[in-house]
């Protein structure tokens, strides 16, 4: 690794207005060199370490079951409102924190399909995340619906024209990822939402790779439904629950399929039949995962303090830096950039491609540089703007160049 490379990274860190916020994270220990996977599992905050212990000592232990009446019962909705306000551009009463993304996706897609009787097509793309494809295959089989597949350019993503070409009077629902999990392509959510609405269908955006890394305006874009996970850029910790968004104008019309007692209008009456609660509560099924909701609160506070515009500006700078370094250090070894080069079409991660990455990524992990491997030959470099430094990027990609050079 050259001194010039490290000096250039240090200069970028010195000029980064968000750099001081990196000290809020629990320092990487042991062999930690560069964490390039914050888009898969965010790092813990020091505040979270303290707040988890405080919850056990000051809330759970002394309050015990009384906690349910003292805020836990409403936490899917109160935390949902906070998450919606800070990261989704969603007014209160439209976001819930519950389930896993997979389960929330099933619930909202199934409800959407039932709300469009007489329409039998669901549009999805071949590059969407596996769970989205699998869940919709299941729903299609269950409801006798037909999946209509868009085949996007794998180095980019689904375009508005492609959506316009396959939607029509038969379309019930369109399910797309806002940021593609492999290429990092940032879809034009407002334009696509408008196209879907023109044919009378509903749209669901999977925000797993975009919530917390760039400004989202679900209300302003007139989005119908959205889901996302909270363990990536929202640093909720492994297995933290998902969020779901349902536009207020649709809530009365939608009936979700997992009719549990917690979504009942009067859960503690424990009566014979199911009657859905009003508003977002009807999208809850079972007991809220209270402990799993703690860590993301700290990250939401930090995002609010930093401001999502500033987070996005750093995210663009980091991903651009990855592309510049890849062009300079890695293309001589045959590495290709498999993500959009236009800043405004790129999300928070960059995919690099090389036939040897399958073997190389475990060697990087052994040396404390941690990106993701995505088959068949992709190394996904994830940048979490509040915890990732330019120095980490330089060290990480410098090591990739070293290892490729030794082959
Ligand atoms: C785009 C996308 N959708 C859905 C999921 C699945 O989420 P979960 O495993 O929380 O159900 C993921 C997980 O990484 C994802 O990246």
For ligand 1, atom 12, which residue shows the shortest CA distance? Answer: 208
pLDDT, position 2: 83
| Residue with token string 């959510």 | 189
Whether residues 136 and 269 fall in one domain: yes
- Model confidence at 143: pLDDT above 90: yes
| Residue 274 appears among annotated catalytic residues | no
Whether 52 maps to a domain, the answer reads no
pLDDT, position 108: 98
Sign of the torsion angle spanned by Cα atoms 91, 217, 225, 292: negative
Residue 344 pLDDT grade (very low, low, confident, very high; cuts 50, 70, 90): very high
Q: Tell me which of 102, 158, 242, 243 to substitute to probe ligand 1's pocket, judged by most ligand atoms within 8 Å of the beta carbon.
A: 102
Distance in Å, CA 182 to ligand 1 centroid = 12
Of 250, 274, 302, at which residue does a domain stop?
A: 302
Across residues 368-394, what is the average pLDDT? 97
Whether residues 271 and 330 fall in one domain: no
Whether residues 98 and 144 fall in one domain: yes
Distance in Å, CA 226 to ligand 1 centroid = 13
Q: How long, in residues, is the chain?
A: 407
Whether residues 41 and 134 fall in one domain: no
pLDDT tens digit string along 322-342? 999 999 999 999 999 999 999
Beta strands (DSSP E) in 106-239 are 121-125, 146-150, 171-177, 202-206, 225-228
Whether residues 334 and 388 fall in one domain: yes
Whether residues 182 and 293 fall in one domain: yes
Q: Identify the active-site residue in 107, 232, 282, 314.
A: 232
- The three state secondary structure string of 13-77 is HHCCCCHHHHHHECCCCCCCCEECECCCCCCCEHHHHHHHHHHHHHHHHHHHHHHHHHCCCCHHH
Q: Strand, coil or helix: what is 206?
A: strand
Distance in Å, CA 14 to ligand 1 centroid = 34
pLDDT, position 402: 97
Whether residues 23 and 75 fall in one domain: no
Q: 94: closest CA among 102, 82, 103, 112?
A: 82
pLDDT, position 184: 97
Whether 62 maps to a domain, the answer reads no
Distance in Å, CA 224 to ligand 1 centroid = 19
| Residue with token string 């000029």 | 15
pLDDT tens digit string along 212-256? 999 999 999 999 999 999 999 999 999 999 999 999 999 999 999
Report how far apart, in Å, the C-alpha atoms of 65 and of each of 61, 69, 114, 324, 380 are: 9, 8, 37, 54, 43
Whether 61 maps to a domain, the answer reads no
Of 273, 302, 331, at which residue does a domain stop?
A: 302
Q: Beta 225-228 vs 242-246: how paired, if at all?
A: antiparallel
DSSP string, 319-342: HHHHHHHIIIIIGGGT-EE-S-SS
pLDDT, position 199: 97
Whether residues 270 and 137 fall in one domain: yes
Q: Identify the active-site residue in 129, 181, 185, 321.
A: 129
Whether 354 maps to a domain, the answer reads yes
Residue 333 domain boundaries? 3-46+307-406
Whether residues 181 and 243 fall in one domain: yes
Whether 341 maps to a domain, the answer reads yes
Distance in Å, CA 11 to ligand 1 centroid = 35
Whether residues 257 and 342 fall in one domain: no
Residue 1 pLDDT grade (very low, low, confident, very high; cuts 50, 70, 90): low
Residue 407 pLDDT grade (very low, low, confident, very high; cuts 50, 70, 90): confident
Q: What is the CB < 6 Å shell around ligand 1?
A: 100-102, 129, 131-132, 177, 181, 206, 208-209, 229, 242
Structural domains of the chain, count: 2
| Residue 231 appears among annotated catalytic residues | yes
Residue 29 pLDDT grade (very low, low, confident, very high; cuts 50, 70, 90): confident
Contacts of 337 (CB under 8 A, 6+ apart): 323, 326, 327, 350, 351, 352, 353
| Residue 232 appears among annotated catalytic residues | yes
Which CATH number is 39's domain given? 3.90.1150.10
| Residue 206 appears among annotated catalytic residues | yes
Q: Give the burial string for 20-33 (b: 16+ CB within 10 Å, else e).
A: ebbebbeeeeeeeb
Of 255, 283, 302, at which residue does a domain stop?
A: 302
């Amino acid at each position: 690794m050259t001194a010039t490379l490290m000096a250039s990274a240090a200069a970028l860190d010195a000029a980064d207005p968000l750099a001081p916020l990196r000290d809020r994270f629990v320092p990487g220990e042991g062999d930690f060199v560069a964490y390039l996977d914050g888009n898969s599992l965010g790092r813990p905050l020091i505040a979270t370490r303290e707040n988890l212990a405080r919850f056990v000592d000051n809330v759970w232990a002394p309050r015990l079951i009384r906690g349910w009446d003292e805020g836990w019962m409403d936490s899917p909705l109160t935390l949902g409102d906070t998450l919606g306000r800070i990261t989704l551009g969603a007014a209160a009463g439209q976001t819930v924190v519950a389930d896993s993304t997979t389960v929330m996706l099933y619930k909202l897609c199934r409800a959407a399909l039932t709300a469009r009787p007489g329409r039998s097509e669901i549009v999805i793309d071949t590059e969407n995340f596996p769970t989205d494809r699998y869940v919709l295959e299941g729903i299609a089989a269950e409801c006798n619906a037909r999946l209509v597949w868009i085949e996007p350019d794998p180095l980019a993503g689904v375009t508005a024209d492609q959506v316009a070409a396959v939607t029509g009077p038969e379309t019930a629902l369109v399910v797309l990822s806002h940021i593609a999990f492999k290429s990092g392509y940032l879809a034009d959510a407002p334009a696509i939402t408008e196209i879907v609405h023109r044919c009378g269908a509903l749209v669901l955006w999977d925000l797993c790779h975009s919530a917390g890394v760039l400004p989202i305006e679900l209300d302003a874009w007139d989005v119908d439904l959205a889901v996302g996970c909270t363990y990536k850029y929202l640093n909720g910790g492994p297995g933290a629950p998902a969020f779901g968004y349902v536009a207020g104008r649709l809530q009365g019309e939608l009936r979700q399929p997992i009719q549990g007692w917690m979504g009942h209008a009067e859960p503690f009456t424990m009566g014979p039949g199911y009657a859905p609660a009003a508003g977002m509560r009807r999208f809850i099924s079972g007991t809220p995962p209270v402990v799993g909701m703690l860590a993301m609160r700290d990250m939401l506070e930090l995002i609010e303090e930093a401001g999502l515009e500033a987070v996005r500006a750093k995210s663009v700078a980091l991903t651009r830096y990855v592309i510049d370094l890849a062009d300079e250090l890695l293309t001589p070894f045959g590495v290709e950039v498999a993500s959009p080069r236009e800043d405004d079409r790129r999300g928070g991660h960059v995919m690099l491609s090389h036939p040897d990455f399958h073997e190389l990524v475990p060697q990087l992990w052994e040396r404390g540089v941690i990106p993701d491997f995505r088959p068949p030959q992709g190394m996904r470099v994830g940048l979490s703007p509040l915890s990732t430094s330019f120095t980490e990027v330089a060290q990480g990609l410098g090591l990739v160049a070293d290892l490729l050079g030794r082959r």
